[in-house]
Each structure stands twice: as structure tokens, then as C-alpha cells.
Amino acid sequence: MTIEYLTLQPSGDKMPLIGFGCAKIDIDATPQVIYNAIKVGYRLFDGGANYYNEKQVGEGIRMAIKDGLVTRKEVFVISKLWCTFHGNVREGLQKSLDDLGLDYVDMYLIHFPTALEHVPIETKYPPGWTQPGKTQVTRARVPMHETWAQMEAMVEEGLARNIGVSNFNAQMLMDMLAYCKIPPSLLQVELHPYLQQDTYVKWVQKQGIAVTAYSSFGPASFAAGGQKHAKSVESLFDNPVIKDIAAKYKRAPAQVALRWSLERNVGVVPKSTSVERMKTNLDALNWKMDDEDIQAINQLDMGLRFNDPLIKGWDLPIFL
């Protein structure tokens, strides 16, 4: 199997087009799941401090390295700066590195474009959205240009090979591009046939910034987690257009959703604890979709967002 890559700017590093998402995996199962994913062929692992399992992700990677499945240079590790560390980037990254058991990450992303009041590691870690004992978020007076300058310092010090952003809108990116010394290498946002953001994706790629989708299966994981908004929408896997295209190519509906993103030169980071589904998802690299089918999926766009702080109940209207 040939692994396809996105070439990152300005480093020139090659990032696998399809990776493995580390969110929402049972902590006890995580090391073996990561090990299995490496054995199957995944080389990119999309993690983050607020996924609550970076220690276990690192354990799985180190197990695979010890067994000779991969070398450190062959694994592309993503971590994310949580909102409570916008004024303390080094502290946040160093904690992630310590938990992962690594000297550097290949990509460090700002998880959300909002600074929340700092929570000391010894008080609570990962800190989540709220201060201990609070029921609502507390924003911090940390402007993004200060946070990004600290992110740039992490590259200069060799703790992160590349830096980027997640859940940023166009206005925030345009502002950042006006002052940054090191431009973001990657934008990671929610993208799926129900939320396509086509104009934004094309504009970002035109700036030389790679794009990776999360939640490529739309409402699936959110519905499984009990989100009413997601449960009220037809599953992508049951959508007649997706099902007909899957039948045409003798593929699983999940593969169709992933292939649609890959056809846009957008990376994906699906997650599964099943080895067989891991293989199925990774196989999305190995076939092509006719343009008429891509256009049919393009008609499914409804602007439906499922990962929104407002839906979670937090007073953070970042997508408005």
C-alpha cells in the first residue's frame, strides 16, 4: 500500500493524508489500539491534551518502536494546546511531551481559538472547559498574537516541528497571517458531507496551509455520545446517496465519506478500535471516485456542525 502525503509549509515535512484519531478511546484500551493501528499501517496519530489519553497514546507508540514496527521518524504525532494554556504554551506542550514520552511532536495545534483562565497542572489535568468548581467557562485576556508567538518559539526550540490551528474561522486566520513569523502549516476543522465549507477549504489551501478534517463521519460519534442535535439527523451511513455510491464501488459507506475528503486533498483522521475497520478506513487511499459521485455528495451540504462549544453548553460562540 502506498501512503499519500501532504507537504507542509514552511518545513517541507510530509504528513500522511490519512491518520488515526485518538479522541474518545477508552484509556485502558488505548495503548493496544495505537499499537494495532501502527501494525495495520497508520503513521499519523492525531491526539491532544484534552483527549485524556496522551500517556496511553505514547505508550502504544513506544511499544511499536520497541518491537521494531516503526522508528520515531516514521511516526507523525499531533498534539494540541488546550484553551487554558494559551498564556502558558511551553507548560502545555512540555506536559504533552512528558505524557507522550517524546522529545518533540511533529505538529502542535491550537485546539480552539479562545483563551480560558489558566488551571495549574497540579490542580487539575487535563483541565477541561471549566475551572474547578465552576459550571461555566472563564475566558482569559490572552490575545492570539501572544499565543502564536509562543507557538513559534516552540518550533525555534525544536519541541514542535510544525505548528497549526484547529477550529479557526477565516477572519482569525487572515488576522494571523498578517502578523505571524511562521505561518500555520495546518488547519484542522470539522468537515463531512453535511458540513463541507468548500469556499473556506479552497481559500485555506490557496494560502499554502494544509487542511485536515475531523468528524469525517458526520453525526456518527456525536450521536453515539448522546448528542440530541446529532441523533436528530440521518446518519451518513444510512444516507441514500452515500449508500448508492458505496454499492457502486462495493465499498463501505465509511470509505465513501473518507474518499470524498481525500478527493478534495483534505486529510482525514478516522478512529476505530476494530482492526478490521482500521484496515477498511485506511483502504480509502486505494481507490478513486468518479466526478459524478463527488458532485452527488456535494449536494448533501447542510451546514450542520456537531462540534460546537455552544452545543456543549459553553458560552463561546466561536463559529458565529
Specify whether 125 is catalytic: no
Long-range contact list for 256-261, CB < 8 A, 24+ apart?
256/289, 256/297, 257/192, 257/193, 257/216, 257/217, 257/218, 258/18, 258/216, 258/284, 259/284, 259/287, 259/288, 259/289, 260/193, 260/289, 260/294, 260/297, 261/191, 261/192, 261/213, 261/216
Q: Is 86 annotated as a binding residue?
A: no
Residues in the chain: 320
- Is residue 310 in some structural domain? no
Our count of domains for the chain comes to 1
> The CATH number of the domain where 206 resides is what?
3.20.20.100
- Is residue 229 in some structural domain? no
Predicted model pTM = 0.97
pLDDT in tens, the chain (320 residues): 445 999 999 999 999 999 999 999 999 999 999 999 999 999 999 999 999 999 999 999 999 999 999 999 999 999 999 999 999 999 999 999 999 999 999 999 999 999 999 999 999 999 999 999 999 999 999 999 999 999 999 999 999 999 999 999 999 999 999 999 999 999 999 999 999 999 999 999 999 999 999 999 999 989 888 899 899 999 999 999 999 999 999 999 999 999 999 999 999 999 999 999 999 999 999 999 999 999 999 999 999 999 999 999 999 999 98
Q: Given 42, 51, 108, 214, which residue is catalytic?
A: 51
- Is residue 245 in some structural domain? no
Host domain of residue 125? 5-217+261-272
> Which residue type is seen at 97?
L
> Which residue type is seen at 161?
R
